[in-house]
Amino acid sequence: MTDARKIALTWKIRESLRTEGFDICGIAQASPHHEDSNHISEWIAAGRNGSMTFIERNLDKRGDITSLVEGARSVIVAGLRYFSNEPSAGSDNYFVSRYARVRDYHAVMEEKLDRVQKIIKKLVPDSSSRVFCDAGPVTEKAWAIRAGLGWRGKNSLVINKDIGSFFFLGEIVTTAEFLYDYTSARDRCGDCTLCIDSCPTGAICNDRTIDARRCISYLTIEHDGNLPGEFSGRTENMIFGCDRCQEVCPWNKKAVHYTDKELVPEVSLTSLTRRDWQNMTPDDFKKIFRSSPIKRTGYKMIRRNIDFANYGSPEKG
């Protein structure tokens, strides 16, 4: 493919990503990076994945993205901001992570990227592509950094200097060729340790990874069974996820409310009171969260989280 053709194709795909509402995007050259699977293996060996054994599968593919699409040449990475800061129904309300206050981002991101993928196919008929969003053996954070979207913060999240860290990631792995972005791994966290110091359960490790066994997000979303008693009173009013490390990050001072209409939820979760949550039936749960990522956790686990938050609340010792 000629340079002129690459320039034209790259411009059209970037324009299509902007049309879809993505706030940031970048393109990296597809190639093996076995260090990715090595880092994950070390993290697993330390037991920091908790009960998430699915991460142990396909480790070889996590280190070689070209194994996911034969002949892959490019990895397109796109970010969609989801920040919101609406006041809760009451000062004593339960907390739900901001990512779950919008429509299930998996569906939103995949639909957007599928439309872009079709454009690639139209422009490059002999190309093959696959869309990924928090699925499959793709090391999303590593590829976001390679595509120039930001750096890995001390809280393990990718931080972008313009929009912070409240954004979803999605990828298109394709055999089509583009102009690739210049990437800089510059660490802009400096000496700041606000995220580490503010974590309620001390889950942030000193190597920019998270010990899932101590992470409130993992405990309230992924962990089966009873929640560890050592965290009683430390999950505060959080019943689904935790944004603390992002809330204190100086780079999120620039975060602004999302504008993409496809993210608008059917029900505003911040309007739900404690009484609404406590009186919720299984049928209510299905109706309210039918297009929410919360449905994946299920009614029983949400009830467990509510009971744990109540037990550990200050007024109940």
SS3 state of residue 129: strand
Would you say residue 189 lies in a domain? Answer: no
Instruction: Specify the pLDDT at position 53.
Output: 87
CA atoms within 13 A of residue 228's CA, in its CB half-sphere: 14
Domain end call among 143, 174, 205: 174
Total domains in the fold of the chain: 2
Nearest 5°: phi and psi at 165?
A: -125, 0
Instruction: Specify the pLDDT at position 135.
Output: 86
Structural domain for 104, as ranges: 3-86+99-174
Domain end call among 146, 174, 202: 174
Would you say residue 82 lies in a domain? Answer: yes
Q: Are residues 198 and 167 in the same domain?
A: no
Phi-psi domain of 280 (left: phi exceeds 0; alpha: psi -120 through 50; beta: other): beta
Q: Are residues 209 and 168 in the same domain?
A: no
Q: Are residues 103 and 230 in the same domain?
A: no
Q: Are residues 36 and 82 in the same domain?
A: yes
Which residues carry out catalysis?
134
Q: Are residues 149 and 226 in the same domain?
A: no
For the chain (317 residues), the mean pLDDT of every run of 10, in chain order, is 89 98 98 96 95 88 95 98 85 90 97 98 98 94 96 97 97 97 86 98 97 97 94 92 97 95 94 94 96 95 95 46
Q: Are residues 72 and 139 in the same domain?
A: yes
Q: Are residues 150 and 277 in the same domain?
A: no
Q: Are residues 205 and 308 in the same domain?
A: yes
Would you say residue 91 lies in a domain? Answer: no
Would you say residue 184 lies in a domain? Answer: no
Instruction: Specify the pLDDT at position 91.
Output: 67
Would you say residue 92 lies in a domain? Answer: no
Would you say residue 228 lies in a domain? Answer: yes
Determine how β-strand 95-96 pairs with β-strand 151-152. unpaired
Q: Degrees (nearest 5) of the Cα angle 132, 302, 106?
A: 15
Would you say residue 258 lies in a domain? Answer: no
Instruction: Specify the pLDDT at position 314.
Output: 39
Q: How far from 114 is each of 16, 107, 130, 171, CA to CA, in Å?
A: 11, 10, 9, 10
Q: Are residues 150 and 31 in the same domain?
A: yes
Q: Are residues 44 and 134 in the same domain?
A: yes
Q: Are residues 110 and 156 in the same domain?
A: yes
Q: Are residues 72 and 150 in the same domain?
A: yes
pTM listed for this prediction = 0.94
Would you say residue 45 lies in a domain? Answer: yes
SS3 state of residue 170: strand
Contact criterion met (CB below 8 Å) for 198 and 33: no
